[in-house]
Structure 1
């Protein structure tokens, strides 16, 4: 369910990219026209009020991850309406664009670097927020970008650990969603996983206590409640 775009990626450099600026208000871009966004457990309390969230497997590592559904087909982001984003909260995976993490060693995220897509529509040398000042120092904006990636990396580890715990407890199942969109017919969403409510309800004793102490129970309830937002996406899709 991922969406791939061709891009020109370079590691961020204070000399080579001294003049670059980012148009941060420009949201309706090719990079953002995707139907999924990776999210972390730290975002869920806010995220589930506006987005449907499921579990998926990373196409690269095969690790379990949390994924917000933005659209029903590749390249479709129903949260974009012109230049407006139809939610008050933007997932960190959207905020970080047009930047991405470069990790030479997947097991050592602290040694990662920030890269930039030079072909991204937000990137130019005339308009927007600069990355470096005239002396080549990081601007406050770039420092916030670094903080965003720190949140993303830390959140990914926390999320993976909780989902591994859920998997070990037998609480995760594969699902296929068949959604009827008025005037458009059926849409199939494959490759999704979800928490099995019956298995969750059967938790008891030490396993139940561990799930409570780790925060897993809260994550389960948040994800189960978030599926209500699929109806909102169906309405948006039908009215396109």
Structure 2
């Protein structure tokens, strides 16, 4: 269950947010969404694929952390990689929308929400665990200001990710992928349900198509996604370590 509410100092002065990393804080996810401008950082740590949401039918670029639901192989006494995708770091905050009236005109603006049911959220904690969101005499703490900026970057990044995917679909550059992995204990894992760059189709693109991809910064993102799949070896090594092999 989630309980997203509009964040404000009057109702949430006592709210704190745990910033430590662990499964108990909701980090046991096997992938997270990312976007083109973040891919340079993500590709250095994680394999990057595309995932199609079966309900919305939307396709998102994602960073992979494990081979199955609830498995994050980077969680060992914290998160073992230095870079955390923004979609992970933003928890438990969300961007919401509300209508405001200015000069007789109604417009929509983005506002900050928080999921009060998220395991990172603490209220009235006598031990003062976690980061406070508001200063004692009003105003946002630096932590909350950073989160607000992060969410704005993530919002714009995901809009760019939608444009990226739309252009890839236009040029038929997405194809299903199956990754077969055999571990040292002879067990096998098959990664299905994801998509990747169709490299044969990419090689057939003409100069105009490549120029369009390059001008929008997407050609670099394409090659970063292709190169990142070498990080599957790291996931295999982490899985073998987990098995004690």
TM-score range, shorter chain: 0.7 to 0.9
Matched, 1:41 2:43: no
State the secondary structure of the residue aligned to 1:143.
Answer: helix
Choose 182-191 or 87-96, whichever is displaced more: 182-191
Q: Where does 1:49-198 land on structure 2 (aligned, <5 Å)?
A: 49-82=44-77, 84-103=78-97, 110-126=109-125, 127-183=129-185, 185-198=187-200
State the secondary structure of the residue aligned to 1:85.
Answer: coil
5+ residue gaps in structure 1?
Answer: 1-5
Whether contact under 8 Å (1:12, 1:116) holds in the other structure is no
Whether contact under 8 Å (1:166, 1:216) holds in the other structure is no
After TM superposition, the score normalised by the length of structure 2 is 0.86
Structure 2 Cα separation of the partners of residues 202 and 42 of structure 1: 25
State the secondary structure of the residue aligned to 2:14.
Answer: coil
5+ residue gaps in structure 2?
Answer: 100-106
After TM superposition, the score normalised by the length of structure 1 is 0.88
CA drift at 1:113: 3.5
2:221 alignment counterpart:
219
Residue by residue over 1:98-132, the C-alpha shift from the partner in whole angstroms, topping out at 9 and shown as x without a partner, is 22333579xx9843442223341453433222101
User: How many residue pairs are counted as aligned between the two chains?
Assistant: 232
Whether contact under 8 Å (2:21, 2:79) holds in the other structure is no
Structure 1 Cα separation of the partners of residues 189 and 111 of structure 2: 38
State the secondary structure of the residue aligned to 1:81.
Answer: coil
